[in-house]
A = this chain, B = another copy of it.
């Protein structure tokens, strides 16, 4: 196969066209891949792209990638142990005009919120965050309405019954991406209740991603934020 858009490693086919087609290069999904596989994919993507991401991986993959990268790239490589994100961020410019705001309901959801924040930054967004504003103490959220109102896109991270996305969406006119988390126990069913709650939100305009999918929320937020245009075209 001589298609330049695809690099065929037999066991994998790297879709180098993706950065052009979708605005960001292929992101490596860590689970089920061996450390050498992650290393090879990461390095090859890094040869052609300034920023590269691998989600849900571990310290061993981090070490292998670090060793394999050219020396000048290593300073830009960060492993976020709490959410398993391995990020190469050589291009640190804010690219899109709007702000992506990550709002999380509780401190127990922080791991998912961090993944969303880090990914959104690597993808060129200006990022803000509001943490620990669960609905059981509503005044904490209401004090932040000005911050909510100036965001272009809001990512709302919540576990348990995930009431927060409905409340937030009711207060703003920007898109709200709900990220249900697996925080909770018993009838929370590892995030299923939060997921169904987000999908059933009485506040129109909420869209939802998979449980604990901070990365996917950041990716979608970037695509939305991009509608508002680049910083450089102002």
Residues of A that sit less than 8 Å from B by CB: 1, 3, 5-6, 10-13, 15, 17-18, 21-23, 26-27, 29, 31-33, 37, 41, 56, 98, 105-111, 131-140, 142-144, 152-153, 160-163, 166-167, 169-175, 177, 180, 182-189, 191-213, 215-217, 219-220, 222-229
B211:A209 contact, CB within 8 angstroms: no
A228 to B175, CA, bound (A): 12
Do A1 and B210 contact each other (CB < 8 Å), given the known contacts A166-B135, A167-B135?
no
Number of copies of this protein chain within its complex = 8
Residues of B within 8 A of A216 (CB): 204-206
With beta carbons under 8 angstroms apart, the residue of B107, B139, B191, B220 that contacts A206 is B220
What are 27 A-B contacts defined by CB distance under 8 Å?
A: A1-B144, A6-B140, A6-B143, A12-B132, A15-B136, A17-B139, A22-B170, A22-B205, A29-B106, A135-B167, A138-B138, A138-B171, A160-B201, A160-B202, A161-B197, A161-B200, A174-B223, A174-B226, A184-B200, A185-B211, A186-B212, A187-B200, A188-B200, A193-B193, A199-B210, A208-B209, A224-B227
- Minimum Cβ distance to chain B for residue A93 (Å): 18
Do A107 and B187 contact each other (CB < 8 Å), given the known contacts A11-B132, A203-B136, A223-B174?
no
A20 to B142, CA, bound (A): 17
B13:A133 contact, CB within 8 angstroms: yes
A152 to B228, CA, bound (A): 10
